[in-house]
Structure formats: C-alpha cells, structure tokens
A = this chain, B = another copy of it.
Amino acid sequence: MSELRKDPIVERWVIISTERGKRPHDFKQEEQIKITGGFCPFDPGNEKYVPPEIYAVRAPGSQPNDPHWTLRVVPNKFPALGIEGDLDKHAVGLYDAMNGIGAHEVIIETPNHSETLDIMPLDRMKDVVFAYKARIEDLKKDKRMKYVLVFKNYGAVAGASLEHSHSQLIALPIIPKRPLELFSGAKTYFSYKDRCPFCDIIRQELNDKVRLIEETKHFVSITPFASRSPFEVSIFPKKHSTHFEFEDVEILYDFTYILQNTLKRLKIALDNPPYNFVLLNGAFIFDHDDYFHWHLEITPRLTKIAGFEWGSGFYINPTPPEDAAKYLREITL
C-alpha cells in the first residue's frame, strides 16, 4: 500500500508509492513510451482492459461495461491511492504519515478516439461536467475523504499518458496544499474586508475589462493579474459559491459552454497547446462558505518549470496577462 507523508515544515502531503517503487533504471526507460497509435484501452469494445465502470452515460437498454456508451468513469488501472483499508494515522519520529487511502478515477470523456473537449457536441461535453459533479457527490459520502481534486492533462508535455480524451479525479483523506493555501489566503482577506476576495476580483475584472476574455450569463473567464505562466486562464462563477457540486443544471450548462469556448480559444491562439486544468473546489467539511469561491484554472504548458520556479515558488511570465486576454478575447469562435 502506498503511504501519505506530510512535510514537517510546510502543509504539504505527498504520496509515496511504496508498491510500484521505481528504481533508477525505470526512469531511463520512461522516455521511450509513446502515447499515440496502436491499441487504446479507452476505445469502445476494449472495456475489459480497464476496471469495471463506476458511472456511465449509456444507450437505452445497454448494460454496464458493454460498448454502447458515450461516457464512462472507471477506477484508474494504476491508482496512486487505494480505496480499501484504514487510514492508520501514525508518527515516524517527528514526521506524520498515514496509509495511502483514497480514490483515483478516470473520466473517459468520449467513445471517439480522436474527439477532444473543444470539438465535442456541447450536449456531450455537459455529460463530462455532470460526471464530475456526480462523482464528487458520491465520494463525499466516504467519511474518510476530505477533498476531491478533478483535473485534466492534455498532451504528453502536460502529463497525459493516453491520447484518448479523458480527465481524472483523486479523492483524498487530506486537503492538498494548494486549496489549503487558497482557503487560508482568502480567509485573511475576508478577515479585514468582510468580503470574498474572488468576488472582489470578479467585480474589478468586469469593470477594468483588460484581463477579461469572456462573460456569459453566469461565468467570467479571465487571465489572472499575477498569472504564473503565459495564457493561464481562470473561469469563475459570477455569483459567490463555494462548491462546484452544488450548482444547478442551468449553471453547469453555462459552465460547459464557457469552458469549451476557452479551450477553443486556446487551441486556435496557441496551435493546439498541451494544457492542464484543475478544479479548485471547496473541501468536504471546512468553514469557508463566506470566503472561498470555486473556480477552474487552465494552464497551457508553454514554458518549462526550472530550478528557479521549483525552488522559489516564484515565476517569470513572459506574456503580460493583459496581452494574453486580448489575444484570446479577439479569437473568432
């Protein structure tokens, strides 16, 4: 079983995979893995090559794990965490550790091997967004869990190991460092302004318009003022809301629309760049309703993360967010 370990200085947990422990020569081989061409375990007809489905959108009358689906959620075949067992929180001298309990799932977004989110019919892309919601709601019932992280790696540079369009989620018995930082920073802001900082940001961006890409009925897409990397985009619901999974059908449909538009804009502007997106959502149980505001962050992978960034948490962004917003705003969809 893998192990969750906490850094003794900062609030950061890591997963140490003790089971599939990699030795030095494993890393040398890694470069040769190719992600395109040949057999795809996510194609319809190949259902037996992945674990049985947890959730699906299927043709009427079809059966679980048969090929008549348009979306499936399956456990990751090589999960970073296992769902069975006790947390067994314990000390290792001055360090803290617990068992690697959690869920690691794959959302297979389409049956069509080459179809990507940006070109998918909106009605089927909406199924992807609703799958995120359904899975978060279900995993919330597991009282060992504290957070679900939904994310997507598109392109090999962004960490995708399979070409077939998919996203992933990891349910965790701890709140990861980044959301915790956002909660903590937002709380500090709230404590002296009595306002949600994200609501303030949205108001300012709608007013200034220089970092605004698109506004829909319920959402805005912007390039953050202090973007860490070029063409980084955040999508916020305009109305204060802590949890993605509490949004209703109308709002999530509008979210699907602005997300697809954003992906289209990035694809056209940057010639199909690799990207990551991550849903920065509220935690399962946390007193942050007043000051945290869920959002989705999209990062095209255009620059390398070098020693400076890694060591300092300090980023050099060669594209002012105002320029990036202008390029993206002026794309004809």
Residue A270, interface by CB 8 Å: yes
Which residues of B sit under 8 angstroms from A197, Cβ to Cβ? 8-9, 94
Which residues of B sit under 8 angstroms from A201, Cβ to Cβ? 8, 94
Residue A17, interface by CB 8 Å: yes
Most buried by B among A9, A11, A277, A305: A9
In whole Å, how far is A75's beta carbon from the nearest beta carbon of chain B? 16
Q: For A310, give its contact among B6, B28, B276 (CB under 8 Å).
A: B276
Bound: A307/B80 CA distance, A:
14
In whole Å, how far is A146's beta carbon from the nearest beta carbon of chain B? 12
Which residues of B sit under 8 angstroms from A34, Cβ to Cβ? none
Residue A159, interface by CB 8 Å: yes
Residues of A261-280 whose CB lies within 8 A of B:
269-271, 273, 276-280
Q: For A12, give its contact among B12, B226, B273 (CB under 8 Å).
A: B226
Give the number of residues in A that approach B within 8 Å (Cβ atoms).
94
Which residues of B sit under 8 angstroms from A198, Cβ to Cβ? 9
> Interface majority SS on A: helix, strand, loop or mixed?
mixed
How many copies are assembled?
A: 2
Given A5-B226, A185-B9, A227-B14, A312 and B159 contact (CB-CB distance below 8 Å): no
In the complex, residue of chain B having the shortest beta-carbon distance to the beta carbon of A18: B320
Which residues of B sit under 8 angstroms from A194, Cβ to Cβ? none
Residue A304, interface by CB 8 Å: yes
Residues of A118-164 whose CB lies within 8 A of B:
149, 151-153, 157-160
Bound: A311/B21 CA distance, A:
24
Residue A282, interface by CB 8 Å: no
Which residues of B sit under 8 angstroms from A182, Cβ to Cβ? 9-10
**Given A8-B200, A8-B226, A14-B226, 19 further pairs, Cβ under 8 A:** A3-B320, A8-B201, A8-B225, A10-B181, A10-B182, A13-B226, A18-B320, A22-B318, A23-B319, A24-B231, A24-B270, A28-B271, A149-B308, A151-B306, A151-B312, A153-B307, A158-B306, A176-B313, A276-B306
Top-7 shortest CB links A-B: A159-B306, A278-B311, A276-B307, A177-B313, A9-B185, A176-B314, A178-B313
